[in-house]
Structure 1
């Protein structure tokens, strides 16, 4: 039942082969069984049961709301959800219950989706491993594959030593794990510099960052307003296309969304790539790129060429400046956005009454972790009067050059770009936390953040397993508002790879032992 795609489950619900309540119960049972993965911050058990019961009544009456009616979904915990706690995995917002739904959440519910819960993330979305959450780090379910254990733990079982697990990627790691582990059919993430595509790649699922302005940001607690985009994580490209059709379109509550109506589309089963021109950016041969990822990238280019596509090398010359540029612009907007959390209107407030300034200082010191405070300080430095032109304004000019590189490449006749998503497979947790957050984010986001600065759509598709038995993904970058073409290419590639996101369950042993002995506190 849980191995179906979203479209298969929706069809089974419509013809009566599946019952929404039974489907909800299966997902809830699996959430509890895999609680050691720490994917969920808040499981909306009662809310989901009520929604599943209402869906069951609609199906009985022959009046389903839409394609998602009765389908279990999950939402990253930086999207506002009415009457459900929204924390951004931060002490600052712990206990905050929004009075409204984010537009994308409301659109899912309007289609009859069943909200299983809110997923874990790096605090306020600032990270690339889902390791910096006040609720503890997210575990990658592929950590427990037979291949990985044999390679790294010898004859030991999971319960003997649970310290070898690998990161889920971030910052939407909880959403990626929720989909990868089968506890929901689709999940919402957010993507500012790769936060949907990075964990999707590490967890073996499909992750889409739509064109900036195609999907509403209303109700997404902002990190970087000029780059934030709601992302979609699912098991296959068809499911991503289905959800995009639900979410895309103008929102009067978000002035950055496009005015033109979005034309929904269904991807064909037989996709022809013979007239396709695929660009390979030479600048994406970055230092630290694993030999396995490089080999997979090269083989995929050959595969496309053998199928009749034209594969050409292209240049995005300003890519080498993108990480530094991204850091300046990101922290500057973070400093501005985080200023609203002052302890006065909502969120955490320190018990300090000496003065207003002392209360501000104590509140932000207690409410934010070191990563958030560090980015705020960096952003304020770049925005100082004497630094504004030297750093922020110059970074904006470089961003325009980066965006222009994409425009020139696509105008030259290239349809899509093919790149790695990450440097390699998921890093072991113990190795990952040895580096500071900024260094790790720069390494993990090297291939992804350019698309955010240019505003173009990008999707990662699982392509295979590394020698450690961990997923590897490749990224396709498309032209602005050409999601149909981008997803068509992604589906063609997905069909060639024939990768199953739930394959790790074939090798998952001793799950009940691991669940009992896990040292990650259960939040369910």
Structure 2
């Protein structure tokens, strides 16, 4: 079997091959390192774990472990013991943690093999994975590996673009990302993989370097829904190190090979029919609604009336928390320290050298919103709007008697278009890009509900089109069942890229 065939197989299939000794963990590791090298021009990895270190781990690994040496990757804003964690920023270029994030440790304890840390927008502030100290990550779709053009390629999406590309190309069977306003679902959509943003609190945030504490969640990227379910069941549950995780056990998700949707009520948010959404995405959305309806689900239109304020509300809250979280990087206790004279001079110079323009812009905006004279006008008002957005979504999922209630899942676009070309994307500011591409994703973060991006078909330009499903808090079982149904119905084919 060729490397391409085995590296693009579902995780659950490869685990069976390892159990039956059709392939060894060592051989799988060799093939994965070869793939990482073959796709180096995509710039998906910030750093790669030394091959000999991982070979030693595989030899020691117990073959009865859950993951049996399966290669995986982690976004470079999760702390990893003795492995640099940069957040793609000069501010943390030399940071080597002494511990691993809980979700990373759970995967290595289960026998997974960490291949490396993946690229992101600096401190996860972006939607393209283009603002990184190591340069942008490129989308493998419509990319000429034999004769790459430095100007003619599509963005991977962000901020977890490196993780999405690693999974899409077979350089990793699955990967961790973080999702604050769509940073897992957006790159998953652009790169044609599945991206899960779990319920806030179902996965530990311990060791995930903070961006927006009230919205950040670890997310899972894989090539199929079954693989996402498998990894979610390993990672979910309470963590004593993270007070925001759910108390008690999280129920394990089990879905059938061909799940039924006859008992589901699928909601179509009417406010998501925006004027800027690509006709191809609208057509795909209508097709999916018909598929659910034709297979017994009840499809209804629902209203989320405060959606129109959502992206502006998100921007204010995001910048406010960013300003607070980034204050710790002062060159004295944390982060890059510049050569300077007086304390104030060193402090200013360290932050100017350590943060890029996009990060400094959000800090400045956040500090403005948090000024005493502005706090009630902007930040406090945004918190009130956030509560209205949460209430809208909660009402839709509540099994009440109202016309706009009783929905099991919402079906919506992930973004307004397929992946844009870099040369077009780069002309826009970071804040404008966020407004344009996070418009349909960030509401789930403000409400804390789970959401998933599922690839459905290809556009005329042969780029992936994905759709998004949302469910109520801690209802990942229903969400993933609906996602599996949509995946089966679409029969999306992962390509064998010409490496």
**Structure 1 and Structure 2 fold alike (TM over 0.5):** yes
- Which residue number corresponds to residue 80 of structure 1? 79
Alignment partner of 1:215 out of 179, 203, 223: 203
* Partner deviation per Cα, 1:331-350 (whole Å, 9 max, x = no partner): 00000000111111232110
2:455 counterpart of 1:462: yes
Shift of 1:160: 7.1
- Cα distance in 2 for partners of 1:49, 1:29 equals 14
- Cα separation, partners in 2 of 1:38 and 1:161, compared to 1, 3 Å: closer
* Partner deviation per Cα, 1:485-512 (whole Å, 9 max, x = no partner): 10000001101111123x152xx2xx4x
- Contact 2:328-2:334 at 8 Å conserved across structures: no
- Cα distance in 2 for partners of 1:293, 1:265 equals 29
Alignment partner of 1:298 out of 281, 286, 291: 286
* Partner deviation per Cα, 1:403-441 (whole Å, 9 max, x = no partner): 000111111210000000011110000000100000001
Question: Aligned with 2:199: secondary structure?
Answer: coil
Shift of 1:369: 0.1
- Contact 1:28-1:45 at 8 Å conserved across structures: no
Question: Aligned with 1:144: secondary structure?
Answer: coil
- Contact 1:13-1:70 at 8 Å conserved across structures: no
- Which residue number corresponds to residue 419 of structure 1? 412
Alignment partner of 2:377 out of 390, 394, 404: 390
- Which residue number corresponds to residue 94 of structure 1? 93
Shift of 1:162: 3.6
- Cα distance in 1 for partners of 2:229, 2:255 equals 8
Alignment partner of 1:29 out of 2, 16, 34: 34
- Which residue number corresponds to residue 394 of structure 2? 407
| Aligned pairs for 1:265-280 within 5 A | 265-280=253-268
Q: Unmatched 5+ residue regions in structure 2?
A: 1-5, 399-404
Alignment partner of 1:473 out of 466, 477, 492: 466
- Contact 2:8-2:169 at 8 Å conserved across structures: no
Shift of 1:95: 1.5
- Which residue number corresponds to residue 108 of structure 2? 109
Alignment partner of 1:355 out of 333, 337, 342: 342
- Cα distance in 2 for partners of 1:504, 1:468 equals 17
- Cα distance in 2 for partners of 1:487, 1:83 equals 35
- Contact 1:144-1:504 at 8 Å conserved across structures: no
* Partner deviation per Cα, 1:161-184 (whole Å, 9 max, x = no partner): 342100000000000000001011
Q: CA RMSD in A?
A: 1.1
Question: Aligned with 2:7: secondary structure?
Answer: coil
* Partner deviation per Cα, 1:128-159 (whole Å, 9 max, x = no partner): 000000100000000327xxxxxxxxxxx962
- Which residue number corresponds to residue 52 of structure 1? 58
- Which residue number corresponds to residue 153 of structure 1? none
Q: TM-score, normalised by structure 1?
A: 0.92
- Which residue number corresponds to residue 487 of structure 1? 480
| Aligned pairs for 1:159-198 within 5 A | 159=147, 161-198=149-186
- Cα separation, partners in 2 of 1:450 and 1:41, compared to 1, 3 Å: same
Higher RCO (C-alpha under 8 Å, 6+ residues apart): 1
- Cα distance in 2 for partners of 1:255, 1:74 equals 26
2:366 counterpart of 1:379: yes
- Cα distance in 2 for partners of 1:90, 1:160 equals 26
- Cα distance in 1 for partners of 2:436, 2:149 equals 28
- Contact 1:37-1:141 at 8 Å conserved across structures: yes
Question: Aligned with 2:65: secondary structure?
Answer: coil
- Contact 1:89-1:121 at 8 Å conserved across structures: yes
- Cα separation, partners in 2 of 1:125 and 1:173, compared to 1, 3 Å: same
2:438 counterpart of 1:439: no
Aligned residues: 487
Question: Aligned with 2:327: secondary structure?
Answer: helix
| Aligned pairs for 1:302-321 within 5 A | 302-321=290-309
- Cα distance in 2 for partners of 1:170, 1:286 equals 22
- Which residue number corresponds to residue 149 of structure 1? none
Question: Aligned with 1:460: secondary structure?
Answer: strand
- Which residue number corresponds to residue 517 of structure 1? none
Question: Aligned with 1:300: secondary structure?
Answer: helix
- Cα distance in 1 for partners of 2:317, 2:70 equals 38
Alignment partner of 2:12 out of 4, 7, 14: 7
- Contact 1:165-1:428 at 8 Å conserved across structures: yes
Question: Aligned with 1:459: secondary structure?
Answer: strand
Structure 1 residue runs of 4 or more that deviate by more than 4 Å after TM superposition: none
- Contact 1:96-1:346 at 8 Å conserved across structures: no
- Cα distance in 2 for partners of 1:80, 1:98 equals 6
Shift of 1:270: 2.3
- Cα separation, partners in 2 of 1:78 and 1:228, compared to 1, 3 Å: same
Shift of 1:51: 2.2
- Contact 1:241-1:265 at 8 Å conserved across structures: yes
2:46 counterpart of 1:41: yes
Shift of 1:15: 1.6
